Amino acid sequence: MMGRPVQHLLLLGIVMLFTLSSNMLYVLGINYSASNASYLLKIHPSSYVFFFLILISPSITSSPRRPELKRCGLLLIMVSTASLLLYQFFSVEAGGGESSLLIVTYAATGALAVALSYADTITLRQMKRFVSLFLLCNSLIGIAETSGFPRILPYVVGETIIGFDNRPTALLGHPLNNALITGAWCLVILLSNFRTPLNFWRLTVLGVHMIALLAFGGRAAVVVAALSYTCFVAYQATTTFLKGDSRDIIRLAKLCIIAGAGVPILVYSGAADTVIERFLDSRGSDETRSAALVMLDLLSPGQWLFGVPVSVRTSIQALLGSTRGIEISWIALVYSFGLPITAIVLVATYLTLRATTEEHDMGRAALLFYFFLTTLLSLSIGSKSLLVAQFLVILACFAKPLEAPPLIHAGPKSRRPNFYDARSIGI
């Protein structure tokens, strides 16, 4: 295992990963998203921390606690690095993708996976506490911004401040990023409730996150989260009735009743107005996705292999009326780097995320299904994004610990919730 100073450095990188959104970096005066910025500034600060951990960990660590996660993380680093070299060699003139995308979105995620494979129980527990508290604050801020309070951070896309979109940005930046991560955390809380007895405080926190998820207006996140949980409940119900465990059957019935009662309350209270409005008026998002599918027919064999020049891509988007971008991530990656690079990077990413939790259960399958379907239906991981690394951390929070936490107090447990305990705030 890594020494405590290195474990603290890993925690610092995770804190930076969630708190330093592109909006926050804009406020701090760092040209992270500017096209004319220095290349070093285009790499996220947390990426430097994770790469530094890769450099120093071999000399001060023993064998990893999760060897499979380390192997897959190294694979993702190698695939991303090879893809970057191929892109620079073959596509530097033909392709239009930004090379920092491969570093921030994918290579840095691989470095984080390697570092997490050495994380001890104390570090993982502290990580869960931070993520739980941060996402709870993020959801409360999102709800407040929806209720009329001013934004804490400006809504920035690239180098432009967006003024026409009134959806909340909270701390994670883009509303869709907020929706995707919040939806993933809602699933973590719901799925974790099948492992432990139901808790009123935990369900209250879940309600806050669900309201925020609707407030962020992410249609795909809402629909796919509901679909993922429905499939999981159906599977759980089948196995529960086959086992005949009355306690599991009662717990499952309670969760279904709570969900059934919660949906109409959220709808009729007005909390779901933002997402309902997005279903009624997508403001061009649906047309942009349809144009992205049409764009595949316009690719030549060479462009399938090496990507499309920026000037050609801009002309195609203007021709199809898709000036807002390519809002399907894998198509954006194909246009940037070509199909071979896109395929190997996405496969390596899937293997890395899959190795984060060693349990081969439906809970992990539901989370992975949610993440890939929601990200494939938006630009998200088809651009320079922190979403993959953030979801990797969320999966690590969902994973069962490899060893039990130390026994601190053998007396009766207090009924008061401990706000510094991750289990009291959602998991």
Q: Distance between CA 370 and CA 402 in Å, rounded?
A: 25
Does residue 345 register a pLDDT over 90? yes
The residue that leads in pLDDT, 250 or 146, is 146
Q: What's the pLDDT score for residue 419? A: 40
Question: Using an 8 Å Cβ cutoff, are 358 and 70 in contact?
Answer: no
- Assess contact for 213 and 186: CB atoms under 8 A: yes
Residue labelled with tokens 């405080």: 201
Instruction: Name the helix (H) or strand (E) containing 247.
Output: helix 246-268
Q: Rounded to whole angstroms, how far apart are CA atoms 116 and 2? A: 10
Neighbours of 63 (CB within 10 A): 9
Distance, in Å, from the CA atom of 149 to the CA atom of 181, rounded to the nearest integer, reads 22
Separation CA 1–CA 66 (nearest Å)? 11
Query: Partners of 157 in the beta sheet?
Result: 160
The pLDDT value recorded for residue 52 is 94
Report the pLDDT value the prediction gives residue 320, as an integer from 0 to 100: 73
pLDDT of residue 363: 81
Residue 357 and residue 395 in contact, taking contact as beta carbons nearer than 8 Å: yes
- Do residues 46 and 20 make contact, with C-beta atoms less than 8 angstroms apart? yes
C-alpha distances in Å from residue 306, one per residue of 225, 297, 300, 320, 331: 34, 16, 10, 22, 13
For 99-143, the pLDDT digits (tens) are 889 999 999 999 999 999 988 889 999 999 999 999 999 999 999
pLDDT value at residue 414: 47
Please tell me the predicted confidence (pLDDT) of residue 281: 55
Q: In the block, which residue shows the tokens 């020494």? A: 3
Quick one: tokens of 100? 């920092």
HEC profile of 191-222: HHCCCCCCCHHHHHHHHHHHHHHHHHCCHHHH
Q: Which two tokens stand for residue 146?
A: 């929806």
Would you place residue 221 in the very low, low, confident or very high pLDDT band (cuts 50, 70, 90)? confident
Spatial neighbors of 272 by CB under 8 A, at least 6 apart, are: 214, 266
The candidate with the shortest Cα–Cα distance to 426, out of 387, 388, 390, 397, is 397
CB neighbour list of residue 113: distance below 8 Å, 6 or more residues apart? 69, 70, 72, 73, 76, 352, 355, 356, 392
* 41-45, 273-277, 335-339: least confident range: 273-277
Dist CA 289 CA 63 (whole Å): 45
* 24-69 pLDDT tens trace: 999 898 888 877 778 888 899 999 999 999 888 665 556 788 889 9
Is the per-residue pLDDT at 271 higher than 90?
A: no
Most distant CA pair in the chain, distance: 70
Whether 151 shows a pLDDT value over 70: the answer reads yes
pLDDT at position 159 is: 73
